[in-house]
Structure 1
Amino acid sequence: MITIVGCNKGGAGKTTTAVNIAVGLAMAGHDVVLVDADAQRSASRWYAERENKELKPSITLIEKRDNIAQTLKALDLKYDHIVVDVAGRNSRELLTGATVANVIIAPHQCSQLDLDTLQELQDQIVRIKDLNPEIKAFVYHSMASTNHSVREIERNEFSDYVSEFSDLLCLKSIGFYRKVYKDVISDGMSVLEATNVQARTEINKLINEVYS
């Protein structure tokens, strides 16, 4: 199964989401390859730390740029799950990868700058479905506020906005803004390997919702 984690806006927690999903799927016993298709190489640096510390479960990482469609198709014959981290912009990697992917997970914060890019993503999905009609595009509410006085209002605003786009599905799962997500990246870890129960629960809910 091929999953693209990407959107048209940087800073939405894209790489964080990708690496946590990859480790979670590996923990469930799947053979997982993480594809770093972003020139910033954030996923590759995370993976290097993981390898240096010999952390388990093991996953495979490859780097690929430009047209990634054929590479993803070949990997799909060898691995249970391919998780692809693409740049936070309208990239060639996002578009070519989506032509062969099963799922797009598009992390977005509840900010006007993030949500304004959903129209572009909707237009892309419409065109991609001409080549890949079975693809599903999920919008993931990332870096959500933990402040109880605003979190419900923010969530309602987010889901209402996403509902305006017929080809985009708003996930029920939410990733909240928690320091642990940043802390574990520098150690080559996932929050699933840390002690923060809330963060672990969030990632498990995301994986269960998308892949079950």
Structure 2
Amino acid sequence: MIILVGSNKGGSGKTTLSCNLAVILAKSDSNNDVCLVDADRQGSAARWHQERESADITPAITLIQKYDNLTKTLQTLNEKFTHVIVDVAGRNSREMITAATVADMVIAPHQCSQLDLDTLGELQEQIIRVIDLNPDLKIFIYQTMASTNVQVIETERNDFQSYVAEFPEFTPLKSAGRYRKIYRDVMSEGLSVLEGSNKQAIEEITALHQELFSHG
């Protein structure tokens, strides 16, 4: 399965999400071989992976760096690995478009901010064209860096869902990732939140994993 984590907005937590997904998929089944493709020239996922390898952290994740046209590379990797997760830059890139043509699903992380949500229109235009080539592609919108303030959680969530509902091509995920320092802390150590002690963050990634794979 090819999972593309991408959007047209930088700073939405794509790399953090990609790395945490890679770990939970590897942990969920000992037979799962997971490949993380760093297709963002900033190389954040590659640096995370280097820290993980240096510390000999298990489960091991395979990482490759690949840019420009990803189509053939992803098709080849998909034959070798159970899951291929693709982390692309936060913009309308060649890597994002070519990956989407062969992906099984797109997970587009967005904050509940006008700047983030304004990019959904551009993403919609891209997806409409890609679906002509990949009609079975599933597109999920994931709320990231959501507030932990109980007084605004419900209002923020309603605003987010209402905005995403304007785009029939997208499915808003029920699960959400909240703004927690632990997500940043573990990345510098080559870890996922699953390998930390923050129960709320663990529950968030676990809920996302369960929801994604309940879609079949």
TM-score, scaled relative to structure 1: 0.99
Which residue does the alignment assign to 1:27? 27
What residue identity is the alignment partner of 1:3?
Answer: I
Please state how far the C-alpha of 1:125 moved relative to its aligned partner: 0.8
Question: SS where residue 129 of structure 1 aligns?
Answer: helix
Q: How many residues align?
A: 212
Which residue does the alignment assign to 1:86? 88
Q: Where does 1:72-151 land on structure 2 (aligned, <5 Å)?
A: 72-151=74-153
Question: SS where residue 59 of structure 2 aligns?
Answer: coil
Question: SS where residue 166 of structure 1 aligns?
Answer: coil
Amino-acid identity (%): 59
User: How far apart in 2 are the matches of 1:26 and 1:165?
Assistant: 32
User: How far apart in 1 are the matches of 2:161 and 2:87?
Assistant: 24
Please state how far the C-alpha of 1:39 moved relative to its aligned partner: 0.3
Please state how far the C-alpha of 1:166 moved relative to its aligned partner: 0.6
Q: Deviation string for 1:102-155 (max 9, x for gaps)?
A: 000000000000000000111111100000000001000000000011111000
Q: Where do 4+ consecutive residues of structure 1 move more than 3 Å?
A: none
The answer to whether 1:197 aligns with 2:183 is no
Q: Deviation string for 1:175-205 (max 9, x for gaps)?
A: 0000000000000000000000000000011
Q: Deviation string for 1:59-117 (max 9, x for gaps)?
A: 10000000001000000000000000000000100000000000000000000000000
User: How far apart in 2 are the matches of 1:31 and 1:197?
Assistant: 26
Which residue does the alignment assign to 1:62? 64
Which residue does the alignment assign to 1:180? 182
Which residue does the alignment assign to 1:17? 17
TM-score, scaled relative to structure 2: 0.97
Which residue does the alignment assign to 1:44? 46
User: How far apart in 2 are the matches of 1:70 and 1:163?
Assistant: 33
Please state how far the C-alpha of 1:211 moved relative to its aligned partner: 1.7
Q: Please, what is the CA RMSD of the aligned residues?
A: 0.5
What residue identity is the alignment partner of 2:98?
Answer: T
User: How far apart in 2 are the matches of 1:156 and 1:88?
Assistant: 25
What residue identity is the alignment partner of 1:38?
Answer: D
Structure 1: unaligned runs, 5 residues or longer: none
